[in-house]
Amino acid sequence: MSQTAPFDEEALEAARKLFARETCFLMGAAAISGLPEADLPEVAFAGRSNVGKSSLINAVTGRKELARASNEPGRTREVNFFVLDERLRLVDLPGYGFAKVSREVAKKFQNLGRSYLRGRPNLKRAYLLIDARHGLKAVDGEALDAFDQAAVSYQIVLTKADKLKPAEVAKVTEATLKAVSKRPAAFPRVLATSSETGQGIPELRAEIAAACAL
């Protein structure tokens, strides 16, 4: 798998301008029947509870409080939709892992995320967020399997890369890329990002714009 990003300065600037447009919260859906019409391209963000999905969505859109971040794992229990300039939807899927809820409740909203992945024809790409400090864990394997089974193109995004030294980030990036190299739906680049410093955010914006042909 190649790790060479294809984006030049022009593409990065075009993506910056795209995400500088107005973004707002659209709705939260607690059931598949409540999803909005599949009339705009969508990209979805998934990951373990407390991996930093809300912070990353805020960083990508340049809004500090668009998606509500919480220190309590498992707070996202709906599929939350944000709309960018009526051209694109960003979708925040329920987290998985160590949510502080009953097993029955956790299974319910995690199944909601899986159902979304299987039944959304306008989903252009999913982004699986992995904490750079920990790398892929066993619990992430279930998410990888779900993506592959749903035949959804997905890309690994490492979060909290600012917590590591550059050499450590490079090492975990390479290890993650190698781990998913034989998975059929995995996109052949791993992005290291930081919502705190902005590392990797321009490239992620460009990835999203390219995936949605915007």
Residue 3 lies in a domain: no
The rounded distance, in Å, linking the Cα atoms of 92 and 95 is: 9
Residues in the chain: 214
pLDDT tens for the chain, residues 1 to 214: 445 567 999 999 999 999 999 999 999 998 888 999 999 999 999 998 889 999 999 999 999 888 875 444 444 568 899 999 999 999 999 887 644 444 554 454 467 888 888 889 999 999 999 999 999 998 888 889 888 988 889 999 999 999 999 999 999 999 999 999 999 999 999 999 999 999 999 999 999 999 999 9
CATH of the domain at 67: 3.40.50.300
Cβ proximity of 152 and 145 under 8 Å: no
How many domains would you assign to the chain?
1
Residue 4 lies in a domain: no
The rounded distance, in Å, linking the Cα atoms of 158 and 155 is: 10
Question: Per the structure block, which two tokens stand in for 3?
Answer: 């790790």
Range of the domain at 109: 9-211
**How many Å separate Cα 86 from the centre of its chain?**
20
Q: What is the pTM of this model?
A: 0.90
